[in-house]
Chains A and B, each alone.
Chain A
Amino acid sequence: DTGVSQNPRHKITKRGQNVTFRCDPISEHNRLYWYRQTLGQGPEFLTYFQNEAQLEKSRLLSDRFSAERPKGSFSTLEIQRTEQGDSAMYLCASSHRDREDNEQFFGPGTRLTVL
């Protein structure tokens, strides 16, 4: 499969627990993005990596959120001390730096439910 993959697809956790999601981008893509989507809304940008460098973070990304892309390949998004408001679909996307049009390819998402 050459598309963007995300694991797990679903996560149910209790409030206060930590969760970690993984994203594997398309192999030759050097840009990787995380978005969050809640019911009735479009995806909202969280953070973006070019290779291993985290170049931009949204104000939505509170101190409880951290993202890494240690070797410029896969990325992880960790949420510490989850809150019910963190329940959402977390989307990962990737793109290639050399593409003029910045087309992003999306993964299937990880649906987080915080009880």
Chain B
Amino acid sequence: AQRVTQPEKLLSVFKGAPVELKCNYSYSGSPELFWYVQYSRQRLQLLLRHISRESIKGFTADLNKGETSFHLKKPFAQEEDSAMYYCALSGPTSGTYKYIFGTGTRLKVLA
């Protein structure tokens, strides 16, 4: 079954603390993994995609095929990072372009 699991509904950290939002997936094939972020009253927007291996706003995510994980990390959280974060996968190499989303993790960065 194709599935994305985000085990934490809510993650609270203090400003300056490291952050790790977990994402595990189940997919038979070669998925593409994404992290989307939704700030308060804004639309979903792309934060990271695994194929570009980039760092955005200090966030990084590495695809671990052995552990089927794509955890999102940031060494020092900022208050403006408070938002809802969704992990998603698609399988374009299999002709599957839809996204399968996790249930999301709300990150709260405390002052």
Contacts and interface: CB of A to CB of B under 8 A. Distances in A.
Interface string B77-111: 00000000010101010001111111110000000
A65 interface: no
Interface of B: 4, 6, 9, 32, 34, 36, 43-46, 49, 51-52, 86, 88, 90, 92, 96-104
Interface of A: 3, 31, 33, 35, 40-45, 48, 56, 91, 93, 95, 100-109
B86 A95 contact: no
A41 B88 CA distance: 13
B97 A43 contact: no
Contacts of A31: 97
B98 A48 contact: yes
Contact of B98 (A33, A100, A107): A33
B97 A48 contact: yes
A103 B32 CA distance: 10
B46 A103 contact: yes
A108 B41 CA distance: 9
Nearest to A102: B92
A58 B104 CA distance: 21
A108 B43 contact: yes
